[in-house]
Structure 1
Amino acid sequence: MPVPFRRLIPPAAALLALAPVGAWAQTLNFYGVTGLVDMPSAEMQPDGELSANIGWFGPTLRNTLTFQITPRLQGSFRYSGVDGLAIGGFGPNDVYYDRSFDLRFRLLDEGRYMPAVTIGLQDFIGTGQFSGEYIVATKSLTPRVKVTGGVGWGRLGSYESFGSTGTRPPPDTGRGGKPNTGQWFRGPAALFGGVEWQVNDRLGLKVEYSSDAYDLEERQGIFKHRSPLNFGAEYQLTDSVRLGAYYLYGSELGLAAHIALNPRNRPTKGVTGPAARAVVPRPDRRADPDAWSPEWTAQQGAPAILRSNLEKRLAEDGLAVEALAVSGTRAELWLRNPRYDAGAQAIGRAARALTAVMPASVEVFEIVPVVDGMPLSKVRLRRSDIEALEHAPANAAGLRARAEIVDNPRRPAGAQNGTGTYPALSWSISPYSRLSYFDPDAPVRGDLGLRFAGRVDIAPGLVLSGAITQKVAGNLDKYSRVSDSVLPHVRTDGYLYDREDTQLEKLTLAWYSRPGTNLYGRVTAGYLERMFGGVSAELLWKPVDSRLALGAEVNYARQRDFDQRFGFQNYSVVTGHVSAYYAFDNGFHGQVDVGRYLAGDWGATVALDREFANGWRVGAFATLTDVSFNDFGEGSFDKGIRVTIPLNWAIGTPTRAQSTAVLRPVQRDGGARLAVDGRLYETVREYHTQGLDAQWGRVWR
């Protein structure tokens, strides 16, 4: 029997909460890209916007996640189902599922007389069943009326074509997942176009002439194409949600919902919480010269008293003293920040606490952020600058211009540890969710439960941590397809791990260190993840002020028993990578990993993420190894999209918690990498120059 469409819930919808993004000047089409009804337009969404589209008409349901990568470049991932389409092993009584990617690039901006012009690739990676290419132009005639015209190939060139640009190869119904470059801009070409009228701030009307003949669906009798004209009415329900109703191809009614999130716009309009305390200015030196005398350093117990007073002030902001060293003119604070997602905000609050506690003779504050016992940098501030700039215009930029950020791998002599710093126990009980996407029998499956996590900081850099999960509800254990992988089953047996309701998720002992200037080290041993245990060692070279970082990791991993207790299976492997990281402009971060993966295959992973100042991240990755596309299986090679949303963006209160979702078209054994917590680059970079500068605007908050 066909799978009901209600089971095609889009994975993207699970990531999205409604948030204001402003009026939608650029609307989306049924494919989830900027366009009319079924055809694209030349416009782009606002830079950085993430949108989800759910569209249904006739036998087709499309779920699309679209990200405006740059002002000119837009990318989309789509998961579609066509009821009754018999193709690629699906019978006429099945729902045919298809995963596809789109890319669009705006060649020309709209001018006074010139239209915007965009070139696009639809379904350019995969089987190519719905592939099409186009060049399209859009011009605004008035602030509320736009016209669009373009030429399309593939599906977009199938109705009333006016010519051809060579022979278009047939779609690949095999493994899929490969760029179908042989089809691009090949075959018959046809014209399409339309008009969009924004009647008022809520209502929009669309009419278009489509160049898609829906030949495949017509041949199989599941769709009637009676007219190339499509009509639509859309209503802006909220600033984030636009709903549409349509009449398509003279035969079908359609419905769509478009949901948009812009990382720059918080639902709560900002992060709330206790206001920062004011800077405490020192008395005038001429009026009270004794207050400026460094003789206080000779008083017995003075450093301990200062540390205690500072701990009380920092505790009000959710911060903690790792260590403190003071002299007559200088204070070096090693700072823990378990609360604020912006390191610069934590440093700003620590600096103000120091103005309230330190004697007047202390002019230089050196604040050293510490994570997992590692000092990551030193931010050197002059107290007189803090006092002078607190209420000055552009005070954040002024303070940054006078601040120094340098490396600091060694603890100063005579530093006193914070009270109760080591050993220290922390624990939590929190809900968890584990999701699985794109199984044809159930496109979205998942488990919900509780996670019991604990951590003991035994000594500086030595951390014992673990987590146990207890399933409360879910259906991940209902997966019934036996893996057909010819590689070692390092991931495709994952459903066997989901059968246990109580799981030892991880239990590790980790040692973090600073071997030298610009160097960071990690060794982790134990039950590293749900499927593997072993030992992992990593070394990272990352100068404080450098955009470039280089790393190396080596692991011995052994596969865990399916019951996720303490036993192991026979499979083991030595795996590892050398890595290069680079921080580009505009929040882009690139990463290349070259080495050996869990199945013993050799290859490389390339990843590119865009990070926003509030912690949002959207990125994509792809892995190619010496495993052939046929041996890899469905999808041909590993690839995916990942989205990280900081919790404080949604709730508006300070927290470092965040949620990350990884959308893979398919999870196979090739290109699988060990999942180890605490990898160094993500741990380190937040408190280096690039990371602090990105969030320095919050230093006074």
Structure 2
Amino acid sequence: MPAISSHRSGLKRTVAALACTLAAGTAAAQDRITSFGLYGAPGLMDTPTAEMAPDATLSTTFARIHDSTRVTLSFQLTPRISGSFRYAALENFSNPGSIGGVYYDRSFDLRYQLLTEGRYRPAVTIGLQDFAGTGLYSSEYLVATKTIAPGLKLTGGLGWGRLGSSNAFATTGTRPTTTLGKGGIPSYNQWFRGDVSAFGGISYAPNDRLRLKAEYSLDAYVDEVAGSSFKRKSPWNYGLDYTFKSGHQLSLYHAYGDTFGVSMTFFTRLKESPIPGSTDSAPLPVKPRSAAQRADLGWTADSTISNKAYGSLSASLAKEGIALEGMDLDGRSATVRVRNIRYGMTPQAIGRTARAMTRSLPGSVENFTIVPVVSGMALSAVEMRRSDVEALENEAAAEMLAKTRIVDGFGRAPEVTPGIYPRFTWSLGPDLNFSIFDPNSPIRANLNMRVQAAYELSPNLVLEGAVSKRVTGNLYKVSTPPAVAPTLPPVRTDYAKYANEGDPAIDSLTLSYYGRPGPNLFSRVSVGYLEMMYAGVSTEVLWKPVDSRLGLGVELNYVKKRDFDQMFGLQSYDAVTGYASAYYDFGNGFHGQLDVGRYLAGDYGATISLDREFGNGWRVGAYATFTDASAEDFGEGSFDKGLRFTIPLSWPSGKSTRGASKITLQSLNRDGGSRLELNNRLYDRVREYHEPQMTNTWGRFWR
């Protein structure tokens, strides 16, 4: 069955982000990443080691052994926990799910390091391989690795499943043999059950570039041997790693006495940038005041000075990529209303605004209040003393944070300066829309030209939309899975019809109103063509105190399905869908979300999400949706789940921008658990301007 992961973004953004993710050399030689094996995780070849990659390392491994190709994406979620997603293609594989003699398989791994390596103690890791897939690669293990001399490491472990499929020395009960099913549900009844075999190996790195390794693997390759010319003649495998200066790894193998293998692993360190420092222009220096300037209030009797100060500040901020929309000024204080156009890290915009204020405002103005606004909503009010800005310019940003207050912006924003609205913006450029995991063609894509435009009638009222025209592509050929549950309407599985007939297409056309109904409250109402498949009305209310890690929201939508040509027509299918949501910032960049409600197909359930975000804007996460649609009704995959990545465009370039490429990898796209694809939900718009998030990125205040 096909699995579709559709993503719409500017082509330049997507290609640049993916290229830099794969090619950026961020693994320093002095912090060398351990060897990765054929399964795209720390290992020798087919067997794991107990080592972990450095925290926040994202790796992509392309591996080939005989008739099997494996592509694995792994992420070091914490220093001791890592996870992997694998997509494999097995040729000459006899299985009912094979297409053209090729069987495509998806699997997930999870590893936890029980013990780190000490002077006498080995590192010890427990792992689940293919714990929620079809079971083709299913295995569990307990493994230890110890450095016994510089560059020389020994590994030994116990394996179940594939790692225990020959020469077992013990058993821990009967292991269920059902594999290659619908997949998607953790196979609890198999874990650490069945035959147990020992595996092990040795590696030696004479220098930072080369590593020699040998392993003893008891994976019998039962399914592969049965359907191909592969003959497993020996349990011994041998390999060679070559680590490039960039930190990426090329490996060559001779496996099981019969075949050869090769793998290439690209490492991306999300905490680091491929561009040292920043390519932004230097910020304006703070302008100190004299004692006489601090005491002079004579300017307050001359309105032209206030107007001149506003014009000077507006011009300075415009050069910094910040729009001044309003200002309240008196003898001792100034409150400015600003819109951050350029900076992905909000404190950088706040810091540059404060610097400009020291240069443009009269010397007697001591108290600064900076109110950032998004879609007319005053999200917070950042209060500081001018004298602190002057005194701490050359100190650590944390010193300035200690002197700053971040409070609710409700009722604090100055009135908008006349003439700023209405405002019209537009853009034209290439656009890439793609799908993956269709067994008939694992990767399909459309290249479109896309026009986007927004007409802001007032700060809170925005008319916006996008129109696209296909240039080339084969996305319309994505396989449509057969209906497995007549009780579930085809709310997403007819995606290919939209891709085929929507040329040209109105991607979206909405009128949205954003508001602040009260303290700690934010609201949105959108009406129109909300996304490529649905039109209607979407409403949302969010409760999010400025100093709280917790946010609560309610979303309610009434939608009708659009015609396949994605123009103005509507089909008869309609739905009421909505959710109650809870958001929580766990700290250290971890963000959790729970949505409970009714989905597009009328099924009820919940979506659980967990993301880790870094100070440079990178974000990696996963989600899973469970509804009252049964696994049988859902079909292959059993329930909706996926991985998602946000790649900031400032990361590869070193130049500040608010642009980002968002990519979602879904193991499947079915009708159960489907929700609207809205791009203007409130929480992510609001939270980056609140205290927990600004505290995490405050280090950029002086940049």
Which residue in 1 is equivalent to 2:295? 292
User: Which residue of structure 2 aligns with residue 510 of structure 1?
Assistant: 512
Distance 1:481 1:352 in 2: 57
Contact (CA 8 Å) 1:88, 1:173: kept in 2 or not?
Answer: no
The corresponding residue for 2:8 is none
Alignment of 1:55-454 (within 5 A): 55-90=63-98, 94-283=101-290, 285=291, 288=292, 292-392=295-395, 394=396, 396-411=397-412, 415-418=414-417, 420-454=419-453
The CA distance in 1 between the partners of 2:35 and 2:364, in whole Å, is 61
CA deviations 1:368-406 (Å, max 9, x no partner) are 1101110000000100000001123x2x01100000000
SS in 2 for 1:539: strand
Q: How far apart are the structure 1 equivalents of 2:240 and 2:36?
A: 12
**Runs of 4+ in structure 1 over 4 Å off:** 11-15
Aligned-pair RMSD on alpha carbons? 1.5
State the alpha-carbon separation in 2 of the partners of residues 81 and 542 from structure 1.
46
> 1:94 offset after TM fit, Å?
1.1
CA distance in 2, matches of 1:519, 1:37: 54
| Distance 1:44-1:456 versus aligned 2 partners, 3 A rule | same
For residues 131 and 73 of structure 1, the distance between their equivalents in structure 2, rounded to whole angstroms, comes to 19
- When residues 349 and 364 of structure 1 are mapped into structure 2, their CA distance, relative to the original with a 3 A threshold, is same
Residue 28 of structure 2: aligned partner: 22
Equivalence for 2:4:
none
Deviation by residue 1:282-310 (Cα, 9 ceiling, x = unmatched) = 12x2xx36x63223222134433222111
Determine the C-alpha separation between the residues in 1 that align with 2:209 and 2:538. 55
Q: CA deviation at 1:482?
A: 5.3
Map Cα deviations across residues 22-41 of structure 1 (whole Å, 9 max, x no partner): 13341111000111011000
Structure 2 residue matching 1:17: 3-state secondary structure:
helix
Cα deviation code 1:555-606 (max 9, x no counterpart):
0011011000011111000000000000012100000000000000000000
Contact 1:303 1:325 in 2 (8 A): no
Structure 1 residue 491 and structure 2 residue 495: aligned? no
Contact between 1:549 and 1:582, CA under 8 Å: does it hold in 2?
A: yes
* Cα displacement (A) at 1:662: 0.5
Contact 1:271 1:649 in 2 (8 A): no
State the 1:684 CA deviation. Answer: 0.2
**Structure 1 residues 416, 536: closer, same or farther in 2, change over 3 A?**
closer
- Match of 1:99, SS? strand
Q: Helix, strand or coil: the match of 2:372?
A: strand
**For residue 470 of structure 1, what is the aligned residue in structure 2?**
469
- The 2-side partners of 1:658 and 1:17 are apart by 16
Partner of 2:569: 567
One-letter code aligned to 1:692: M
Contact 2:83 2:108 in 1 (8 A): yes
- Residues 480 and 125 of structure 1: is their aligned pair in 2 closer, same or farther, counting only changes over 3 Å? closer
Instruction: Determine if contact 2:503/2:565 at 8 Å carries over to the other structure.
Output: no
**Are 1:321 and 1:333, in contact at CA under 8 Å, matched by a contact in 2?**
yes
Work out the number of aligned pairs and report it: 682
8 Å Cα contact 1:18-1:240 kept in structure 2: no
Instruction: Say which is worse superposed, 425-434 or 157-166, in terms of deviation.
Output: 425-434
2:381–2:412 Cα contact (<8 Å) kept: no
Letter in 2 for 1:598: L
User: 1:416 Cα deviation (Å)?
Assistant: 5.0
What letter matches 1:333 in structure 2? V
How far, CA to CA, are the matches of 2:350 and 2:497 in structure 1? 46
What is the aligned partner in structure 1 of residue 5 from structure 2?
none
The match for 2:53 is 45
- How far apart are residue 13 of structure 1 and its match? 6.8
The amino acid of 1:533's aligned partner reads: A
Amino acid at match of 1:478: K
Q: Measure, in 2, the Cα distance between the counterparts of 1:663 and 1:642.
A: 6
Q: 1:13 to 1:196 in 2, by over 3 A?
A: farther
Amino acid at match of 1:123: D
Deviations 1:480-499 (A, max 9, x none): 44542431111111111111
Shift of 1:318: 1.0
2:521 corresponding residue in structure 1 = 519
* Structure 1 counterpart SS, 2:311: helix
CA contact (8 A) 1:321 1:417 kept: no
- Residue 662 of structure 2 is matched in structure 1 by 660
Shift of 1:677: 2.0
Aligned position for 2:7: none
Q: 1:311 to 1:483 in 2, by over 3 A?
A: farther
Change (3 A) 1:553 1:25: closer
Query: Which of 28, 33, 44 is equivalent to 1:36?
Result: 44
Q: Deviations over 1:474-526 (max 9, x none)?
A: 11012244542431111111111111331111011100000110000000111
Q: Give the letter aligned to residue 624 of structure 1.
A: F
- 2: CA distance, partners of 1:647 / 1:13: 10
Overall identity of the aligned pairs, in %: 50
What is the TM-score when the length of structure 2 is the normalising length? 0.95
Cα distance in 2 for partners of 1:360, 1:53 equals 59
Counterparts of 2:588 and 2:366, CA distance in 1: 35
1:483-632 to 2 correspondences below 5 Å: 483-486=482-485, 487-499=488-500, 500-632=502-634
User: How far apart are the structure 1 equivalents of 2:434 and 2:471?
Assistant: 14
CA contact (8 A) 1:57 1:254 kept: yes
CA contact (8 A) 2:600 2:676 kept: yes
Aligned residue for 1:417, secondary structure, equals coil
1:450 deviation in Å? 2.0
In structure 2, what is the Cα distance between the partners aligned to 1:479 and 1:585?
40
1:337-373 Cα offsets, whole Å, 9 max, x none, are 0100010000000000000011011000000110111
8 Å CA contact 2:22–2:267 kept in 1: the answer is no
State the distance in 1 between where 2:321 and 2:33 align.
42
Paired AA for residue 322 in structure 1? E
The DSSP-based 3-state class of the residue aligned with 2:141 is strand
SS of the aligned residue for 1:522 comes to strand
Task: From the superposition, tell whether residues 479 and 159 of structure 1 become closer, same or farther in structure 2 (CA, over 3 Å).
Answer: same
Q: Read off the aligned partner of 1:17 and give its amino acid letter.
A: L
Q: Distance in 2 between matches of 1:359 and 1:400?
A: 24
Separation in 1 of the partners of 2:634 and 2:531? 23
- Report SS of the residue matched to 1:515: coil
Which segment is superposed worse, 300-309 or 325-334? Answer: 300-309
| TM-score calculated relative to the size of structure 1 | 0.95
Partner of 1:4: none
Distance 1:180 1:14 in 2: 35
Q: Which runs of 5+ in 2 are unaligned?
A: 1-14
Shift of residue 267, structure 1, vs aligned partner: 1.3
Paired with 2:109 and 2:567, the residues of 1 have a C-alpha distance of 43
